[in-house]
Structure 1
C-alpha cells in the first residue's frame, strides 16, 4: 500500500515519517511555507532518538498525485479544513477506473468526531483513527514527536462501526511495524469521544497556557465535567478517560527532542503558527452543539469556543488571555 498523507503537520508528518522509515511508500501533501520547505530541504523529523532529514515525496494537492488502486488516503488536516480536502480528493481518478471516493479508503486521523461523518458523505470506505500522539509542528519543514518507545497510540476501526475488516488490519500492521501502537477496535468512535473530552481543554491551553496554574487546572476540570454531562444528556457512549490514560502510559513515555522546547496543544500550535483558524468549533463546539440539541447548558465550552475563535481571527498570541477575561471564565 502507498499512504497519501493529506495534511503533513504534527500528526500527519509524524505518521508519514514513521511509515517512510518503516519502508512503506508515502506521499506527504502540504501547502504554503511548509510545502516549500519540504520540497527544498526534505522533512526534518525529530524524536528522542535524534533529528534526521527524510526525503519523502511531497505534493501540493491531488492534481500532483496519480492515484493507484493500492493507495490509502490518511486525512490529517484540522476539522475546519476537512470538507475542502474531501471535496478535492474524492473525484480524482484512480488508475484502472473509478474515483478516489469509489475505490480508496480514507482514514480520519484527526481530533473531534465530525470528520468521519463528513467523509462518509463522499467516500464508500471510511476508517476512524483515535490519535494519541505528543507531536509538534511549529516551523516549516520540521515535525517532532516526543513519544518513546513508540511515537503514539493510533486506535483504528471501521466507521460507523466494526473493525474495518482486512484493510484496517493491514494498515494497523504497517503502523505497528513503523513505530506505533496500533490496536484495531470495533468501537473506535467510543475512544474518539473519550479523546474529545480530553481535547476540551485545548482552547484553554491556547488562550491562557500556564499548565501548572491552579486556576487553569480548575477550569480544565470544569470544562471536561461539562462535556461529560452533555454527552450523558445526548446518550453518547464513551470510554473511561482514566482507562485511556492508563493504556497510553503503558505504551509510551514522553522524552525531550533535541532543539524542541515545550509546545502546547494542537490548538496552541495553530495560534503560534498564526494559521488564522483553530479547531475549537469542532471540539468545544461539538459539546455546544449537543447541549443545544438536547436542552442543556454548556457555558464554559461556549465561552472557550468563542475566545479561541477570536484569538485565531485577530492573530492574538497564544497565552495572552487578560486577567478580566480569565475572571469572566471563572464566573461562568
Structure 2
C-alpha cells in the first residue's frame, strides 16, 4: 500500500516519517511555508535517538492516485472536509485525529473509513521540521474500521506501523478508545490558555467530570485512565530532544503558530453538544470552547490568560446554569 498523509504536521509528519523510514511508500501533503520547506529541503525529523533529513515525496494538493492508496488524514478536525474534498471517494480514509466526529463526517463522503486513536507526543512549530518525543516507539495507534471491526486494510496498516517504530494495535472497538482519548484531550484548552499551573488541577477535574457524566448518560463506552495506562505501559514515554522544548499539545501548538483556528469545537465542544442533548450542564467545557476559539481567532499568544481569569469565567458560568 502507498500511504498519502494529508496534514504533515506533528502527528502526520511523524507517522509519514516513520512509515517512510520503515521502507513504505509515502506521500506527504502539506501547504504554505511547510510545503515549501519540505519540497526544498526535505523533512527534518528529530527523535530522542536521532536526527535525519528525509526526502519524502511531498505535494500541496491531490496527486494521481492508485488502487492501493490509503489516505491518512491528520489535519485538525475543523479542516477535515476541505482537506479531503478533492480526493477520490473510493479510497480508504484513516482519521488519525483527535475527537470523535471526523469518522462520521468522512463516512458521508467516502465509502471506507477507519478510526485511529493517536497517542503520539510530537511538536511541529517550524516549517519543514517535526520532533517526535516518544520512546522507544514514537506513538501508539489503535486502528479499526468505522464504526467497528477490522479488515484487510486496517490489519495491513497495523502491520506496517509495527515495522516502523510505531506501536500499532488492531482495535475493532476503535471509537471506544477515541472517546477515552477525548476525555484526556479536554484539558488541551486549559494548557493552551493558561499552561500547566498546579492551581489548575481542580479545573482539569471539573472538565473531565463533565465529560464522563455526559458519556455515561449517553451510554457511550470508554476505557478508564488505568486501562489506557496499562495498554501504553512504557512504550511511548516522552523524552527530551536537544534543541526542542516540548511546549505543549496540539491546541497549544495551534496558538503558538497563530494558525487562526483551534480544535476546541471538536473536543470541549463535543461534551457541550452531548450535554445539551442529554440535559447535563457543562459550564467548564463551554467556557473552554469559547475562550480557546477566541484566542485562536484573535491570534493571542498561548498561555497568556491568567489562571484567576479562567477560573472566574468558569465559576460565573457554573453559577448561571445552576440558577
Bin for the TM-score computed over the shorter chain: over 0.9
State the partner residue of 2:306.
322
Of 129, 143, 151, which aligns to 1:142? 129
> Residues 117 and 174 of structure 2 are in contact (CA less than 8 Å); yes or no, is this contact kept in structure 1?
yes
What are the ranges of 5 or more consecutive residues in structure 1 without an aligned counterpart? 90-99
Q: Deviations over 1:225-246 (max 9, x none)?
A: 1100011112211111221123
Matches within 5 A, 1:181-330: 181-209=167-195, 211=196, 213-329=197-313
Q: Deviations over 1:291-328 (max 9, x none)?
A: 01111110000000000000000011000003552231
- Residue 262 of structure 1 deviates from its aligned partner by 2.4
State the partner residue of 1:93.
none
State the partner residue of 1:70.
68
> Residues 147 and 252 of structure 1 are in contact (CA less than 8 Å); yes or no, is this contact kept in structure 2?
yes
TM-score (normalised: structure 1): 0.93
State the partner residue of 1:123.
110
- Residue 216 of structure 1 deviates from its aligned partner by 1.1
Of 90, 95, 101, which aligns to 1:114? 101
- Residue 253 of structure 1 deviates from its aligned partner by 1.6
TM-score (normalised: structure 2): 0.96
Q: Deviations over 1:206-237 (max 9, x none)?
A: 0000x2x2321221111011100011112211
RMSD: 1.1
Distance in 1 separating the partners of 2:207 and 2:84: 31
SS at match of 2:302: coil
Are 1:101 and 2:81 matched, yes or no? no
State the partner residue of 1:176.
162
Distance in 1 separating the partners of 2:231 and 2:78: 29
SS at match of 2:11: helix
> Residues 29 and 60 of structure 2 are in contact (CA less than 8 Å); yes or no, is this contact kept in structure 1?
yes
Distance in 2 separating the partners of 1:86 and 1:118: 11
Distance in 2 separating the partners of 1:306 and 1:146: 30
Farther-moved stretch of structure 1 (318-327 vs 105-114): 318-327
What are the ranges of 5 or more consecutive residues in structure 2 without an aligned counterpart? 319-323
Distance in 1 separating the partners of 2:310 and 2:155: 46
> Residues 120 and 236 of structure 2 are in contact (CA less than 8 Å); yes or no, is this contact kept in structure 1?
no
> Residues 121 and 139 of structure 2 are in contact (CA less than 8 Å); yes or no, is this contact kept in structure 1?
yes
Q: Deviations over 1:133-174 (max 9, x none)?
A: 1011011000011111110100000101112x1111111100
Distance in 2 separating the partners of 1:254 and 1:323: 26
- Residue 10 of structure 1 deviates from its aligned partner by 0.2
> Residues 276 and 312 of structure 1 are in contact (CA less than 8 Å); yes or no, is this contact kept in structure 2?
yes
State the partner residue of 1:166.
152
> Residues 6 and 76 of structure 1 are in contact (CA less than 8 Å); yes or no, is this contact kept in structure 2?
yes
Q: Deviations over 1:32-66 (max 9, x none)?
A: 1101111111100000112111110000011xx11
Distance in 1 separating the partners of 2:309 and 2:187: 16
State the partner residue of 1:154.
141
Aligned residues: 316
State the partner residue of 1:36.
36
Distance in 1 separating the partners of 2:233 and 2:202: 23
SS at match of 1:288: helix
State the partner residue of 1:84.
82
Distance in 2 separating the partners of 1:203 and 1:256: 23
